[in-house]
Amino acid sequence: MIPEKSARLIPHQPMVALPRGSLSTSGRETRLFCVFSDIRKTSHKGCPLVLCFREGHRKRMVDKKYESLKIENIVASGAIAESIDLVDFSEKTDNCELNKKRFPGAVYRIADPKIACLIFSSGKIVITGVRNDKALADGLAIVIGSLKNAGIVPLKEPRVAVTNIVCSYNLGRYINLNKLTVTLNMEHVEYEPEQFPGLVYRIGDPKIVVLIFSSGKIILTGGRNLEDVKKGLDVLEKKLESIM
């Protein structure tokens, strides 16, 4: 005898889509009258995707694909002033170094958030070491404040934007780089193991450069936003699935 709260099996019937109305819920319990198994689902968490009708869960499954995707560095650049007297600025600002014999710009290091800024006399700036949008905004605010403290007038609206996002990712499997080099379009691949242990693969759309290592670990660079990085990763994984 089948328990009242269990799903009923329909013997000798082909697998078909669940009809509307076959899904009923009571509290945290969900009963699925399923044609292929006897299932009593008591919690949404961890349910098989084929049995899940919630948009939120499907989104979590997609997000899980990028679980190992990690932002390592964000580079932003732009203009913060019409011009900057670097000698005056470096003398009045702590943690700001200027050595024109070695580098034409001033190097301004900020401890919190931990970033480094390259500041030029033209008023241009390059910010590196950023990990998220908040760190970029906070770091830029500190630079603008330092300019004002040094008597330099910044632009009313600094024109600074993200120019490059560097991410790491683990494919989770061994990659035969020699086979990959032969199979991929040679115009987009560079592999010289005597000079560098990784394979360089250039994706055209979106414009992403991928460093692939035999361990399955990769570095993605060139994206201006995280969506471009994810699209580039999708392109790479489709390529790998078709040839490996």
Whether residue 19 is preceded by a cis peptide bond, meaning omega within 30 degrees of 0, is no
Kindly report, residue by residue over 214-230, the tens digit of the pLDDT.
Answer: 999 999 999 999 999 99
Architecture of domain 171-243: 2-Layer Sandwich (3.30)
Q: Are the C-beta atoms of 175 and 212 separated by less than 8 Å?
A: yes
What whole-number distance in Å separates Cα of residue 144 and Cα of residue 230?
32
CATH topology match: 76-162 vs 171-243: yes
Our measurement of the distance from residue 156's CA atom to the centroid of its chain's CA atoms, rounded to an integer in Å, reads: 31
What are the sequence ranges of the domains in the chain? 76-162, 171-243
* Strand runs labelled E in 82-224: 96-98, 106-110, 115-119, 124-130, 154-170, 189-190, 199-203, 208-212, 217-223
Of the chain, the percentage scoring pLDDT greater than 90 comes to 63
198-210 pLDDT, tens digit each = 999 999 999 999 9
Token digits for 166? Answer: 């560097």
Query: For residue 159, what pLDDT band results from cuts at 50, 70 and 90?
Result: very high
Tell me the mean pLDDT in the region 140-156: 96
Q: How confident is the model at residue 241 (pLDDT cuts 50, 70, 90)?
A: confident
Contact 130, 76 (CB under 8 A): yes
CA distance 235 to 243: 13
CATH class held by domain 76-162? alpha beta
